[in-house]
Structure 1
Amino acid sequence: MTICYIHTMNQKDKILEFLKRNKSVSGHELSRFLSISRQALNKHLKVLIQKGLVVKNGKTRNAAYSLAGKIKPEKRLKKQCILEGLEEHKVFNEVALQLNFRKNLSNNVLHIVNYVFSEILNNAIEHSKSENCNIEIVLDQYNCNFIIRDYGIGIFYSIYKKFDLSDEISAIGELIKGRTTTMKEKHSGEGVFFSSKSGDIVTFRSHKITLTFDNRKKDIFIEEKRHINGTEVKFSISRASKRNLENIFKQYAPEAYNYRFEKTKVFVNLFQTEFVSRSEAKRLLFGLEKFKEIVLDFKGVKLIGQGFADEIFRVFKKEHPNIIIKTENLNPVITFMIKHVVDNKN
């Protein structure tokens, strides 16, 4: 009867039942009992630990798992704020006090959460034209997460209209370069850029576009989802993260440039994997004359045409001789085309 009962359970229930009977077990014992891989087991354990049902003692292969003596549910806080007259630092201080951030987050993570939360909320206050916004903060055993959602014009639409772009998708390219702002008199355009680099996963969703920065994989993803009004920003960072806000700033505002935001990185494959024309190159280069150093990441790009390469590595370089252009993740075809253009530019 016991065997039949266990086989009708889902994997998480089986883990809990096994721990009831065995007090403390290793990951190897659980994996063998369930006949699943350690990777699959870890996914189930992570959920159970987040819910406060299971406790992990020790690290890596020597870790042991047991039932939690007292369930510690995740901490969650929801707020709705009227944006007119709202001061972002006061909201963060209130949230930090209620969730006891100073005790529950390391200093480096606290500084990052403070910076990104304040920048995103300020963006809603100054740019969204929304009357109010919803805020949700979740602190679980692994991560600190928050969502800020306004109901205004939308972040991509705002950039699209300001710079007279062809569509909202084009606004993504400007956003990820940095130093793009619709209010130059008040903002440098750096806040959203550095916010996108600071978490493990940072997602901007507006209208039908979802833009995700996965900084663990060092990649960017674009999805089309159902239409939503306004802008929703989701931020997540591990409570054990070693990320440091100062190091993130130095990466793009290094000492060589007197700590000014003069360096940016552009993911060339953001919209397509083949680039041929000069017009495509001009679209990519729009706004990059503001920087002293540009890193072009060609990861995932299959080929580029001579016109595209010539516009970047000869025409643009001739017009802006003091700008340093670096490249990453070139395949042999792209390497040949760039070399061909550079060798023949004179």
Structure 2
Amino acid sequence: MRKKQRGCIDVAQLITNALKKKPQVKASDIVKATGFSRAYVNRFFQQLKQEGKIVLLGNANTARYILADQKIILRTKRGIMTFRRMLRNINLSEDIVLDEIVKNTGIFAGISENVSRILSYAFTEMLNNAIEHSGSRSIEVFMEKSGNAVCFKVFDKGVGIFHSIMQKMKFRDQMEAINELLKGKLSTMPASHSGEGIFFTSRLADTLVIQSAKKKLIFDNTIKDTFIRDGADVKGTKVVFSIGLDSGRNTEDVFRQYAGNSFKFDKTEVRVKLYHDGVQYLSRSQARRIVSGLEKFKTIQLDFDNVETIGQGFADEIFRVWKARFPHINVVAVNTNQNIQFMINRAVPTQ
């Protein structure tokens, strides 16, 4: 195609006229119509944008310009249900990224207030973790509203969450790091973080998957269970969060469930089955691993769902020895079968 003379065409006017004929225009449309370079055409888009005459919505493949008319902006935003960005981890702020999603897409449009709050909390917490803990130079974020759900992904190529915890807390392996992470209040930067973000996010989601190295930690609140599975070898950390648009959860109830009316995080729950390590019954050493660090809480709920039996040493270590050290802490056993309850009753000192 033969290039047209630049001086003969008012590119800014061409863009404006095009937007009067159709609701949105891409830079590639004007490049094709004029034969000018993308860099040259973009100068006029930026000029019109700075003058407040047009607005850029979306990003990457979904980026499009529209007239700066509020009705047009709202209508166009509602059609953008996907956000994807590769972010440089330099002076990066999670709230600014969230604000960009809210302003430039329709993902948050029309969703209930409780789901909006959950999504905002979870996204900023997970992105902040990647920003401050991963050591990754770049972070990929993705969010999409599709069907009756919203999901987001945060993917960094840093040290990896399980490996980072293992190193900084001097644990033996990544499984020990995962089990400690599940308790809540674990932070490798206690001066600036409470360690509560993942714990509360895992309770607010329909599903939350945290994948790093060859381990995948899965929280599935649709069936009220938690899994640790082997997966593909992932460099860094990949977090995938999903919540239904009809979710009845809300942040206040979840915070109050584990923090009480004071909103001080003082309750946790531990799924005992995750400490099996392939053995038939749980021993005293495994009990010590479970209660390690739990003295920070006032109430501990031990969930024995899908646990067939425990050893006498396991029950004695938690319900007599450890309880004697921390008598002010309330330890509650739930989902116990007859065998487990028998062992617990034997261990509890008679009054």
Matched, 1:270 2:287: no
In the other structure, the counterpart of 2:154 is 148
Offset of residue 73 of structure 1: 8.2
In the other structure, the counterpart of 1:32 is none
Moved more, 99-108 or 132-141: 99-108
Offset of residue 325 of structure 1: 0.3
Letter in 2 for 1:98: N
In the other structure, the counterpart of 1:118 is 124
Would the aligned equivalents of 1:132 and 1:151 in 2 still touch at CA under 8 Å? yes
| SS of corresponding position for 1:301 | coil
Q: Determine which of 195, 199, 216 is the counterpart of 2:201.
A: 195
In the aligned structure 1, how far is the partner of 2:108 from the partner of 2:98?
12
Matched, 1:219 2:225: yes
Would the aligned equivalents of 1:177 and 1:193 in 2 still touch at CA under 8 Å? yes
| SS of corresponding position for 1:252 | helix
Would the aligned equivalents of 1:262 and 1:293 in 2 still touch at CA under 8 Å? yes
Extract unaligned runs of 5+ from structure 2.
1-77
| SS of corresponding position for 2:313 | helix
Would the aligned equivalents of 2:283 and 2:313 in 1 still touch at CA under 8 Å? yes
Letter in 1 for 2:299: E
Aligned residues: 272
Offset of residue 102 of structure 1: 4.1
Percent of pairs identical after alignment?
42
Would the aligned equivalents of 2:107 and 2:144 in 1 still touch at CA under 8 Å? no
In the other structure, the counterpart of 1:260 is 264
Offset of residue 206 of structure 1: 0.4
Q: Determine which of 247, 257, 263 is the counterpart of 2:253.
A: 247
Q: Determine which of 281, 289, 295 is the counterpart of 2:287.
A: 281
In the aligned structure 1, how far is the partner of 2:282 from the partner of 2:222?
31
TM-score, structure 2 normalization: 0.75
In the other structure, the counterpart of 1:80 is 86
| SS of corresponding position for 2:109 | helix
Extract unaligned runs of 5+ from structure 1.
1-71
Would the aligned equivalents of 1:74 and 1:138 in 2 still touch at CA under 8 Å? no
| SS of corresponding position for 1:241 | coil
Offset of residue 165 of structure 1: 0.8
Offset of residue 275 of structure 1: 3.5
In the other structure, the counterpart of 1:89 is 95
RMSD over equivalenced CA pairs, Å = 1.5
In the other structure, the counterpart of 2:210 is 204
Cα deviation 1:152-189 (Å, max 9, x = unaligned): 00111111111111100111111110000000011010
In the aligned structure 2, how far is the partner of 1:242 from the partner of 1:343?
41
In the aligned structure 1, how far is the partner of 2:239 from the partner of 2:93?
18
In the other structure, the counterpart of 2:113 is 107
